[in-house]
Amino acid sequence: MGAARTVLDVTQSGSEDTKPAAPKWPSILTWRAHNASRMESARVVLSGNRIRAAGRIIAGECEDHPAFSASYDLVTDENGVTRRLSLRSTLATGERHASIARDEENYWLIDAGGTHVRSTFGGALDVDVVLSPFFNTLPIRRYDLAHAVEEVQVPVVYVRLPDLLVQEASLTYSSGADGIHVLSPVSSATVVVDHDGFVLDYPGLAERI
C-alpha cells in the first residue's frame, strides 16, 4: 500500500472547505489514489453496526500491478463482523472470482479460482483487501478506534488484487492523538478517519474525495 510512515492529526487533516461532507446513509464514498491511476467507489449502507457495501476499484497499469477493475459486495452481521464477501477481478487476460463467507462455527469458507478452503484464518473476523482503503473501516469501527486510545492485533482474511490470492495475515491498529496507525503486510501509515470510522486519508494509498 503505502511507503514511509506519515503522521497526520486525525482532527486536523485540512480545512473545513476541503474535507468531504459528513456522509448520510446510504452514501457513496469515493477514494482517489495518491500515487497511481486508481480510484475506488462504494455504496455503503449502515444500520447500527451492520454494514452493507457494494464497491468497485478501477486501476491503470503501474509498477505494482497491471490495469484491472475489481468489484465487491460485503455484508456484515449486527456487530460489524464480516459474514460474506464476493469479489470479481477483471484483467485483459480474463476474469477471476472469489466467494468468502464465515459460518456459524467461525470457519471461513473460501471458493476462489477452483480452490476450496475451510479455515479459521487465525480467528479472523474481518477481510482486508489490498489497495482498498474501505476495508480498514471494519476493525476501526468495531474497536471504536476513532474515539478510543487502543492497540489491537487484528487477524484477517487477506485478499490480494488483482489475482484474488487469499492468505492469512495480521494487521496492527493503534490509535492516539496523532491518528490511527496501521501496520499491514505491505505498508505502515497513520490514517485519518471521519466520525463514523471511514477513511478520509491513508498516506501512500488514497484519499477520499
pLDDT in tens, the chain (209 residues): 443 333 333 433 444 445 666 788 999 999 999 999 999 999 999 999 999 999 999 999 998 899 999 999 999 999 999 999 999 999 999 999 999 999 999 999 999 977 899 999 999 999 999 999 999 999 999 999 999 888 999 999 999 999 999 999 999 999 988 899 999 998 899 999 999 999 999 999 999 99
**Domain spans of the chain?**
27-208
All three cell numbers of 175? 490509535
Q: How far is residue 124's CA from residue 206's CA, in Å, rounded to a whole number?
A: 25
pTM above 0.85, yes or no: yes
pLDDT reported for residue 55:
98
Phi and psi torsions of 71, nearest 5°: -130, 155
Nearest CA-CA partner of 1 in 93, 136, 98, 125? 136
Residue 21: partners with Cβ closer than 8 Å, 6 or more residues away: none
